[in-house]
Amino acid sequence: MERRTIGAAALGVGAVGLGCMPMSWAYSASQRRGDRSLRTVHAALDAGVNLLDTADMYGPFTNELLLGRVLKERRADAFVSTKCGLLVGDGHMVANGRPAYVRRACDASLRRLQTDVIDLYQLHRADPEVPVEETWGAMADLVRAGKVRALGLCAVDARSARRGAPGGGYEGTIRQLERIQQVFPVSAVEAELSVWSPEALGRLLPWCAARGVGFLAAMPLGSGFLTGTLTPGGGFEADDPRARHPRFTAEMMAANQPLVAGLRRIAARHGADVTPAQVALAWVLSRGPHVIPVPGAKRERWAVENARAADLRLDTTDLAEIAALPAARGSWD
């Protein structure tokens, strides 16, 4: 698989990563199977993926425990990205950026992941009660202590970007990035980026490109929508966030089908075995050499299919056709 580099330390990663979240969190809980997830991670590594993206709060904790079972055997094959700073409370999520908490969280992640170093440690959410420099300073100490190789920040203000915030959105994240860069170099930013959520292209992606900061594209398949395998009105399990997501109502899924149809048309031009999911990922890859999509998957078949998207090159006709697709309807807000 093509390699890409992130951050000032030029850390090498496969161009397509594996988002491990759906194995333990968020989507279709009844479909989670530990053994199948283990096979999926192994299959992704065999296919040339090395970046495994997890977080302590996926599960919570069980996603890291799952990866630990793989890393115990194949640490050298993997680049581990995990996150701290977001806790699952009683039915809601709470940020905790206190330095003492960050130190404890890192030690706990290392134990669960069965490794002595985390390749990329990301701040999942900045804590409004703690100056972000303090949290980042504690994370920088973890690098100095050899527990972590590089630091990243997750950006969460896609909603303001979608609402058409002046300047293209992500102002809050960029302000935070400017502040923490003064404390310790940022190696990667993780934020939503896909054909139906392109907002990060406005300011956030160029900010990263200008500073050699890697960009981990979360939700590159539009939480599964862009794969064309979800049926409008098919329904979601009660605890699946898509059951409450305005873009996943039967009406909006039907209204956004032209996006899937466009990806399908392009896929067909590239071969009978090329899928809309692969075109969606190839589009993300085409956004810059510092961009690494981390598609989530529970199934071995999908992880391998997604890894193969690294070999798909979209031409100018394909890219123009995607640019001309209608903007997605419905939003989080």
Ligand X SMILES: NC(=O)c1ccc[n+]([C@@H]2O[C@H](COP(=O)([O-])OP(=O)(O)OC[C@H]3O[C@@H](n4cnc5c(N)ncnc54)[C@H](OP(=O)(O)O)[C@@H]3O)[C@@H](O)[C@H]2O)c1
Q: Which residues bind ligand X (CB under 6 A)?
A: 19-22, 27-28, 31, 53, 154, 190, 218-224, 227, 229, 277, 294-299, 302, 305-306
What is the Cα–Cα distance from 301 to 298, expressed in whole angstroms? 9
What is the Cα–Cα distance from 173 to 181, expressed in whole angstroms? 12
Nearest approach, Cβ of 269 to ligand X (angstroms)?
18
End-to-end Cα, the chain, rounded Å: 38
Ranges of beta strands (E only) in 32-89 are: 51-53, 79-84, 86-88
Q: Which residue has the tokens 């809309």?
A: 276
Return the number of the residue (19 or 68) whose C-beta is nearest ligand X. Answer: 19
Select the residue whose beta carbon is closest to ligand X and give its number. Answer: 296
Phi-psi region of 63 (alpha: psi -120 to 50; beta: other; left: phi over 0): alpha
Return the number of the residue (31 or 257) whose C-beta is nearest ligand X. Answer: 31
Nearest approach, Cβ of 280 to ligand X (angstroms)?
8
Q: Which two structure tokens, joined as six digits, stand for 226?
A: 């862009």
Written as one string, the DSSP assignment of 247-290 is GGSHHHHHHTHHHHHHHHHHHHHH-TT--HHHHHHHHHHTT-TT
CA nearest to 295, candidates 13, 2, 15, 5: 15
CA nearest to 69, candidates 85, 52, 86: 52
Q: Active-site residue among 27, 58, 121, 170?
A: 58
Return the number of the residue (218 or 260) whose C-beta is nearest ligand X. Answer: 218
Return the number of the residue (161 or 219) whose C-beta is nearest ligand X. Answer: 219
Q: How many residues does the chain have?
A: 333
58 is known as an active-site residue: yes
| 3-state secondary structure at position 152 | strand
What is the Cα–Cα distance from 190 to 58, expressed in whole angstroms? 16
Nearest approach, Cβ of 201 to ligand X (angstroms)?
16
Nearest approach, Cβ of 331 to ligand X (angstroms)?
16
Q: Which two structure tokens, joined as six digits, stand for 81?
A: 């990205």
What is the Cα–Cα distance from 90 to 245, expressed in whole angstroms? 21
Are 193 and 162 in contact by the 8 Å Cβ rule? The answer is no
Are 13 and 120 in contact by the 8 Å Cβ rule? The answer is no
Return the number of the residue (231 or 317) whose C-beta is nearest ligand X. Answer: 231
Residues 6+ apart with CB under 8 A from 273: none
Nearest approach, Cβ of 264 to ligand X (angstroms)?
12
Return the number of the residue (92 or 144) whose C-beta is nearest ligand X. Answer: 92
The set of catalytic residues is 58
